[in-house]
Structure 1
Amino acid sequence: MLKKKDRGTFRAARQSRIFQDVVDQIQEAIMTGEFQTGDMLPSEREMREIFHVSRGTLREALRVLEQKGLIEIRLGVSGGAMVTAAMAETLTESLGLMLRFRKISLDHLHEFREDIEGIVTAKAAERAVAEDVLRLQALVGEAGRHAAGGIGEWKAFLDVDKKFHQALARITGNPIYIFIHTMVHDNIQPYYDTFLPPDDRRLRENFQDLADILDAVEKKDADRAGDLARKHIVRFSAYMRDQHRDLRE
């Protein structure tokens, strides 16, 4: 039985470009959020009826969508075409490999982070609500406890630092910022391990930066928050460049 949403979402495919039209319609429905990750597309019988296409044409279109990582074809009684997050996972893995094998230079990484961290932090300061501020306060409190423990808790501190930056991205409410932050911060550790060795002074500076950013967010001072984030990236980028230069000499 066709649901009202399915009837309204799709239309009969254009006969002049029937195969590609089916692919385009389903892809558009997924990319615009009409079908979310985990949703099942209409059954094969229903889609053939909606698109006015043959079984072979529909199955070929679904195979293309599966290769793109947009759907997963499941077999069995409860099977069908399910919308997946495979595309996002593939992008994350690709960036992760580029970072791990250092196909992205430090300069490229620093330039990108200086820009994006400043923008995201400024927007977070504009959009944060009381619940967001409480979450950031808890993370800064946890970071402070690790900072007080010295370089023995360096990695634990960096883990909280990562959560803090990702929390700022979530506050923006923009899925693109959230996705990009997740990709970068989930895969940047190899750069830290090589170019940012544990150091008491850097640990204290990093913690102070988090505390200052929190203060700006609490006061909804977007300009100051963005400026603090950019300066934070610039300072630690300089440390990593110095370490990189020392390793090459």
Structure 2
Amino acid sequence: MMRANKSETVATRLEDNSPTRMFAPIRVHRTFEAVVERIVDAIDAQGLRQGDRLPNESEMAKMLEISRPTLRQAFRILENSGVLQIKAGQSGGVFVAADIIPFDVVGKNIASEVMHIEEVISSRRLLEPLVYHLAAENATEQQFAQIQETIELVRHHRHDPRIVQQADGMFHRRVAHACGNQMLLSTMTTIYRQLAPLRGALRRDADRADHIIDVHTRQLEAMRRKDHAGLESILDETFIDLEEEYGVKRKFSIRWHSGE
């Protein structure tokens, strides 16, 4: 007897508006971990087996009300753990990879991801202030103008979370270019690339966009004035969101000394 494909049943259950629906919006810290647990629970609760299809990436991200980079972070853990198989192309999708979920492997991979996240966020706190202080000293007016453009981009698209997130990343990268140190630029580019899915876990509404506009505007003004003390205070505000989201405790900080 041919086993019925459960994808339609799963999709129907996931779209259910009842309190028991499997992929209700996520409202917790360390969002990727909650996503992993939610997907595993859904597979268990529905009795899914190897080869059964789950909703695709865009559908699942919409159900969970999370960013696609954050969802991909969870997918990566589950794929590396042998729980999911991600197939590309028109006939591709998200499939259950095994009949039995290896909970021990999933737990180890989550712990490894948490450790990696802590390293990335801590490295940012250590190195990013150097980038901003150097940009304050070295940036040209043209570079400051290019940084200002990213703030205006957020302002004009404050209701579009995708563009806001892209413009936010562009702001940080342009500051890194303006610092005038190629080694720091290369290092920060790697850090920013790994921060991208983490930022997706933060609030994604117009209030978040307004917060970005406010902080970035004050950062730019401080850099233009070469106000290093003021810049340090503002930078601290930019670290708090991700550190609180992922439970990373502040381990160190640096202070700028002009040498005068």
Provide the TM-score with structure 1 as the length reference: 0.50
Larger CA Rg, structure 1 vs 2: 1
More helix by share: 1
Give TM-score scaled by structure 2 length: 0.48
